[in-house]
Amino acid sequence: MPVHRHARRALVIAAAAAALLPLTACGSDQPGEKKPQAKAAKGFPYTVENCGVKTTFTKAPERALPMNQHATEVLLELGLAKSITGSAYLDDKVLPKYEKEYAAIPVVAKEYPSKEKLLAANPDFVYGGYASAFDPKQGRSREDLKKSGIESRLNIEYCTEGSSAIDDIYREVSETGRTFGVGERADKWVADAKKIIGDTEKQLKSVQPVSVFAYDSGDKTASTTGGKGIANEMITRAGGKNVMADIPKSFTDASWEQVVTRKPDVIMIIDYGSTTVEQKKKRLLDDPALKDVPAIKNKKFAVMPLSELVVGVRAPAAIERLALQLHPELKK
């Protein structure tokens, strides 16, 4: 091949390389050059203080592990099924509206998972419905989880004082929604919940409150609900008057003598665990010491699942159902 043809080819290659140099320079990091910042997702960063733990979220959690059923239901109600990596402690029947989504969520543990099982699920966020979800003796404290790179939230029922339990529900849903970047969905849910509770309140304007004793369990003493917490507020908002409201606790023990003396018109049985509603009714009806209690004489009972007496998304509709049990005349 003639020498001049070699020279021409070399010039062409050199020219092509030179043309590419500016493009390469534009795409490379130059000394002192600032990289453009990635645009933050809508609603982030979001800072929230939850039960004494302050957290700033720069993005929504992607692998949430709700540790109790009502925590799982908050996430499902907000349309976050795809953000759930597993669930634990299913302690009541799954509502039909959640059946499909629940079936697709792995159950990490029948009750609470060990720390090893929890970490094996690889969550980036753990959501506890009860304080027991973060038991430090089991290595599941929020501080321990943080050390493992896992953020957390505890239902505010266990860290608020003096507020309305229903307001706590609104706040719980709102803050959780914003943590996951779905604040608008949370706002809509809160608006709908307020309407349901408001409509129930309107229905009850013309009725007199009935006295209610909440029976959880117990033989020698009666495990019941005191004047604090959501169960007491739900009784009040459903047109009832808790006969143990003077006891400043959410759940407490009362003597059977107190039940007899306070003469409740209705006994609200809290349904959960291995003892059935019918077994609880029989225990009450067969107790000779209670025979003169109006609720026993007239066999007036209401039934509420435990999962509805917590700060969760079931509460608004549950208040309406309880009102219809306490005041059957409203059905007419």
Task: Give tens-digit pLDDT for 112-145.
Answer: 999 999 999 999 999 999 999 999 999 999 999 9
Q: Which residue shows structure tokens 């799954």?
A: 94
SS3 label, residue 123:
coil
Q: What is the pLDDT of residue 9?
A: 43
Four-point Cα dihedral 217, 222, 225, 228, nearest 10: -140
Instruction: Please give the mean pLDDT across all residues of the chain.
Output: 90
Is residue 111 exposed (0-12), middle (13-18) or buried (19+ Cβ within 10 Å)? exposed
Longest dimension (CA), the chain: 122
Query: Within 10 A of 106 (CB to CB), how many other CB atoms are there?
Result: 11
Please tell me the pTM assigned to this model: 0.86
**Measured between alpha carbons, how far is 184 from 168 in angstroms, rounded to an integer?**
18
Class of domain 46-193: alpha beta
* Residues 315, 318, 322: CA angle, nearest 5 degrees: 135
Residue count (the chain): 332
pLDDT tier, 162 (very low <50, low <70, confident <90, very high otherwise) = confident
Q: Which of 125, 180, 114, 183 is nearest to 154 (CA)?
A: 125
Residue 78, φ and ψ in degrees, nearest 5: -90, 10
- 226 and 250 in contact (C-beta within 8 Å)? yes
Four-point Cα dihedral 309, 312, 316, 320, nearest 10: -30
**Measured between alpha carbons, how far is 142 from 152 in angstroms, rounded to an integer?**
6
315-326 vs 230-237: helix axis angle to the nearest 10?
Answer: 50
> DSSP for 206-226?
GS--EEEEEE-B-SSSEEEE-
Q: Which residue shows structure tokens 């302690």?
A: 91
**Measured between alpha carbons, how far is 48 from 50 in angstroms, rounded to an integer?**
6
**Superfamily of segment(s) 207-327:** Nitrogenase molybdenum iron protein domain (3.40.50.1980)
| Domain 46-193 shares a fold with domain 207-327 | yes
Share of the chain above pLDDT 90, in %: 83
pLDDT digits (tens, 9 = 90+) for 6-42: 444 443 444 444 444 444 444 444 555 555 555 668 8
User: How is the chain split into domains, by residue range?
Assistant: 46-193, 207-327
